[in-house]
Amino acid sequence: MHAIVAEHLRKEYPKRSAQPLWRRRGPAERFTAVEDVSFEVRAGEVFGLLGPNGAGKTTTIRMIATLLEPSAGRALVAGFDTVRQPAEVRRRLGAVLAGERSLYWKLTGRENLQYFAVLYDVPASRVRARVEELLQRFDLAARADELVERYSTGMKQRLSIARALLADPPVLLLDEPTLGLDPQSARNLREIIREIAAEGRTVLLTTHYMEEADQLSDRIAIMDKGRIVALDTPERLKARLDQEAVVRLWLTGGDGRLRESLLAVPGVTAVQVDDAPAPDDPRRVTVQGAELRGALPSLVAAAAAAGARTDRVEIDEPTLEDVFLHLTGRALRD
């Protein structure tokens, strides 16, 4: 049995209107946040939903968590329907969702876990031992009796994951778990996710960080504008570009013709022009296409025709961001 199944999920919302209700005519316009999303997550798998902000990742995970009802389609967790059997679904999953304050800041870390243990029907005889076990595991025992409002962002996130694991659920939903963390805290949290997965739990992870998805996920679904545009292992997704070269140019100067000038070079299929770190610094330009190794002089000439000087050229192995650029024509962070 698959741990999670999404079948043709769709979620619509009414568009906001500046007109008062009494002046509107006809049915309200609708905005589609998620459109025909289908995937299956195997038991014990780390499955990543990768995409830019606004791609529909959080809406998808909230439908699976029973917090949103799909406009169409259905989702199953451990074989239970999220709309018809929400209580059975909630017994089998833990969730840490972006944008939600899932802890009480005026309680201590220990008090938070004790409170949620009761809500999650942890047997009374096991509450104390389970809370202590999780405090130790997530390196929170030394500050367990401090108010959560005094915790760092990384500590709050670790406590949120501990809360989600209180009832020992087989499925864990993590929505942008490292968002806003410093590099060291993010690295520590990724290690925790690896440990959780090694225990045999199923993890559904949303992120817009390419490296995070690449490091943690057994398989990745790339989302864009509410749809899944690719689904495979990280290795196979990157192998899609094996027949293409990924050339990175560092250019100084250039005008509005730069992207079009590079796209005109034979064999070029996609161009992404990054902003320069500072006005006089070179900016990175990523070029994808077939047989580009022999086209380097043409690329340099095309850049010069647009007023740009080439400072450095690199030919790189494809990344997940290159895959996204190849599929959508724009960078993941756009």
* DSSP for residue 108: B
Entry pTM = 0.79
Residue 18 has a pLDDT of 59
User: Residues in the chain with pLDDT < 70?
Assistant: 16-28, 242-244, 333-334
The 10 Å CB-count burial string (b at 16+, else e) for 214-244 is bebbebbbbbbebebebbeebeebbeebeeb
Tens of pLDDT, residues 82-106: 999 999 999 999 999 987 788 999 9
Residue 102 has a pLDDT of 86
Residue 273 has a pLDDT of 93
Tens of pLDDT, residues 288-331: 887 777 889 999 999 999 999 999 999 877 788 888 888 887 77
Residue 24 has a pLDDT of 62
Structural domains of the chain sorted by starting position, each given as residue range(s) with its CATH number in brackets: 4-238 (3.40.50.300), 243-317 (3.30.70.260)
Determine the Cα–Cα distance for residues 105 and 241; give it in Å rounded to an integer: 47
Which stretches within 219-328 are classed as H helix?
234-239, 258-263, 296-305, 320-328
Distant-in-sequence, close-in-space partners of 292: CB < 8 Å, separation ≥ 6: 244, 245, 247, 267, 268, 299, 315
